[in-house]
Structures are given as C-alpha cells and as structure tokens.
Structure 1
Amino acid sequence: MSVDVTVETIIRRPVDVVAGYAADPANAPSWYANIESVEWRTAPPLAIGTEVDFVARFLGKRLAYTYRFAEYVPGERLVMSTAQGPFPMETTYTWRSVPGGTRMSLRNRGEPAGLLRVAGSVAAAAVRRATTKDLARLKAVLEQG
C-alpha cells in the first residue's frame, strides 16, 4: 500500500523566512521530531543534486537514509527523494504567501518496504501524525523567533 500524505499550515512569518529555515537540512532536527541527525553528503549550499544523510526514528525503528534534492525553487518549492534507505519516499515542500504569513504544504509519498509494507495503512497513519506534529513544531519555532 502506498503512502501519500499532505499536511498544510499557515505560519505567521514571511515566505522567505519560512522557506529559508525549512529548506535548510541543518534545521531539520529542530522541527522534525523523528530526525536525530543530519549530515551533508555533498557540500552546501542546497541545489539540485545535493545529497544529505538523515538518521531518524520511525515506528520504533532507527532509519538511516539519504535524500537527493530533485527540485529547488527558493521560496516556492523543494522536492527531495530517497536515494538510499529502507522507505522509498518523496518529500515536497511548497510555500505560498497568504494574508498574515505563509501557507506551507508538506507532502510525503512513497512505497513502504519490508515490515512497513505489510503495515501500509499503519505507516500512512503514522506519517500523517508525524507530519502534522512536525509542521506544528515548525510553526512554533518560527513564530517564537
């Protein structure tokens, strides 16, 4: 069963602030609850083809994976997908200016592998819960600053 989850929120900060912070992989551990560490595989700055290694915890399991950035339009859209890892996933961020701030959309879609494949609906629900919490954390971090 595939996973395709989109979550949106409005963050009361300008697009350049929200997009700049969210697109920087070094900030991921501050707003993604499950991400424990990030390491650039290729040298910054972020560009198409950049690869970044992530270590995360998901459904009680440690996951190590590499994301490759496939599309990046600063302040508008970022698309990255796993180049290596146990859960083939594509993640898309979009940002749009709205009255009072920025509408950020975070979409995760992919095909669970291994044990997660058997528990596809559980994985989809877990991704939705985690993504909702992550955007809420991002909103809190950026609105406090």
Structure 2
Amino acid sequence: MKVDVLTETVIAVPCERVAAYVADPSHAPEWYENISSVEWQTPPPAALGSRIAFVARFLGRRLAYTYEITAYEPGRRLVMRTSEGPFPMETTYTWEPHGESGAHTRMTLRNRGEPSGFATLGAPVMAASMRRAQHKDLARLKALLERHA
C-alpha cells in the first residue's frame, strides 16, 4: 500500500520569502515538530544533488534518514527523496503567489512513499498520523513566518 499525503496552507507572506525559508533545510527543526536535527552532508545552500541528514521522532520511534534533493526550481518547487530504511519517502514542497496583491503564498507539502516489509501493515495508521503532523507543521510554519513578516 502506498502512502500519499498532501496538505496545503495560505501564508500571508510573499512567495519568495516563504520559499527561501522552507527551501533551507536548516530551518526544518523550527517548524517541523518531529524533526530534532539537520546536518548538511554536502555544502549549503540547497541545490540539485544536495544531501541532508535528518533525525526525527515519529510514532514513538527515532528515525535517522538522508534526503537528496532531486528537483529544485527556486521559489516554485523542491523535491527531496530518501531510499533508506523500511519506508522510502519523497517530500515535495510547492509555492505559488496567492491573491491579487501577491502578498500571500499558497504552499503545498506532499509526502509519499511505499513502505516495505513489516512497515506495510502500519501504512494506514502512518498516513493518518502523517496527515495530522503535516497540518500541525504547516500551521506552525504559517504562524512563525507571519509573526516575523
């Protein structure tokens, strides 16, 4: 069973500012509740082929994984993939101006993957937990960026 979770929000900050902040993985622990640390394995800034190691807690477990940036259109889209562990993932962020003034950003966050082995049994629970976490994370990001706008 595949897991595919898409969430979105509108942030009252111009697109280029939201995209620049989110596309720097060093900021992830500030707005992702479950991510505790980030370590660049290639020199920043984010670019095609960049590798970034993350440590997170999800469903009571410590997870350590390395993402590689596989697509990057600054200000529009960022795709990262990991092939490690029992649950290879792809995370995609998109940003687009929202509203007539251009002062808002519509941001989407999509996580998808296909668990293997024992992890396939928990895929429905994992998807529901991911959806809840992503909504919380986007709300946290929105509050953080709008507070500093």
| TM class, shorter-length | over 0.9
Residue 140 of structure 2 is matched in structure 1 by: 137
Shift of 1:117: 1.7
SS at match of 1:43: coil
Q: For 1:16 and 1:84, how far apart are their aligned partners in 2? A: 31
Residue 35 of structure 2 is matched in structure 1 by: 35
Distance of aligned partners of 1:130 and 1:115 in 2 relative to their CA distance in 1, 3 Å threshold: farther
Q: For 1:43 and 1:83, how far apart are their aligned partners in 2? A: 21
Q: For 2:129 and 2:113, how far apart are their aligned partners in 1? A: 13
Distance of aligned partners of 1:112 and 1:83 in 2 relative to their CA distance in 1, 3 Å threshold: closer
Aligned residues: 145
Q: For 1:55 and 1:114, how far apart are their aligned partners in 2? A: 22
TM-score normalized by the length of structure 1 = 0.96
TM-score normalized by the length of structure 2 = 0.94
What one-letter code is carried by the residue in structure 1 that aligns with 2:46? L
Report if the CA contact (8 A) 2:86-2:119 is conserved: no
Unaligned runs of 5+ in 1: none
- Residues 1:118 and 2:121 are matched in the alignment: yes
Give 1:1-145 correspondences, 5 Å limit. 1-99=1-99, 100-145=103-148
RMSD: 1.1
SS at match of 1:141: helix
What one-letter code is carried by the residue in structure 1 that aligns with 2:129? A
Report if the CA contact (8 A) 1:112-1:123 is conserved: no
Task: Tell me the percent identity.
Answer: 61
Report if the CA contact (8 A) 1:34-1:56 is conserved: yes
